Amino acid sequence: MLVTGSNLEESLAAIELCQKFSKGEADSRNNPLYSTVGVHPCHATEIDDIEKHKMKPEEYIQKLEELAVDGKNRGIVKAFGEIGLDYDRLHYAPADVQRKYFKQQLDVATKVNLPLFLHSRACKDDFHSILSPYIEAGKLPKGGVVHSFTGTLDEVQDLLSLGLYIGINGCSLKTEENLKVVEAIPLNRIMLETDGPWCEIRPSHASYKKYLAASAPVAAQLLPYDAVKKEKFTPGAMVRGRCEPCSISLVAQVVAGIKGITLEELTDAIWENTHALFDI
Residue 79 belongs to domain with CATH number:
3.20.20.140
Please check whether residue 169 is in contact with residue 150, taking contact to mean a CB–CB distance below 8 angstroms. Answer: no
Asked, for residue 254, whether it belongs to a domain, the answer is no
Q: What is the pLDDT of residue 280?
A: 85
Q: Is 96 annotated as a binding residue?
A: no
In a domain, 229, yes or no: no
> Would you state the pLDDT for residue 222?
79
Q: What is the CA radius of gyration of the chain?
A: 19
Structural domains counted in the chain: 1
Residue 197's pLDDT is 93
Task: Tell me the residue type at 127.
Answer: F
Largest CA distance in the chain: 56
pLDDT given for residue 179 in this prediction: 98
Q: What beta strand segments (E) does the chain contain?
A: 2-3, 34-37, 77-86, 116-121, 144-146, 165-168, 190-192, 227-228, 238-239
Interhelix angle 153-161/124-136, nearest 10 degrees: 10
What pLDDT does 229 receive? 94
Which pairs from 181-186 meet CB under 8 Å and 24+ separation? 181/149, 181/151, 181/152, 181/153, 181/156, 182/255, 182/258, 183/258, 183/259, 184/153, 184/156, 184/157, 185/156, 185/160, 186/160
Supply the DSSP symbol for 222: H
In a domain, 87, yes or no: yes
Is 71 in contact with 40 (CB distance < 8 Å)?
A: no
Specify the pLDDT at position 29: 62
Is 128 annotated for ligand binding?
Answer: no
Query: For residue 149, what pLDDT is reported?
Result: 98
Question: What is the spatial distance between Cα 155 and Cα 174, in angstroms, rounded to a whole number?
Answer: 17
CA–CA separation, 194 vs 198, rounded Å?
7
pLDDT along the chain (280 residues), means of 10: 97 96 65 94 97 94 98 96 98 98 99 98 97 98 98 97 98 98 99 95 95 77 86 91 93 97 97 95
Does a structural domain hold residue 13? yes
Q: Which residue type occupies 151?
A: G
Domain of 264?
Answer: 2-196+260-278
pTM, rounded to two decimals? 0.94
Asked if 133 and 158 count as a contact pair (C-beta separation under 8 A), the reply is no
* Residue 49 annotated as part of some ligand binding site: no
Report yes or no on 255 lying in a domain: no
Query: How far lies 109's CA from each of 3, 118, 188, in Å?
Result: 18, 12, 24
Q: For residue 80, is it within any domain? A: yes
d(CA 252, CA 270): 9
Residue at 223 is within a domain: no
Q: Is 147 annotated as a binding residue?
A: yes
In a domain, 245, yes or no: no
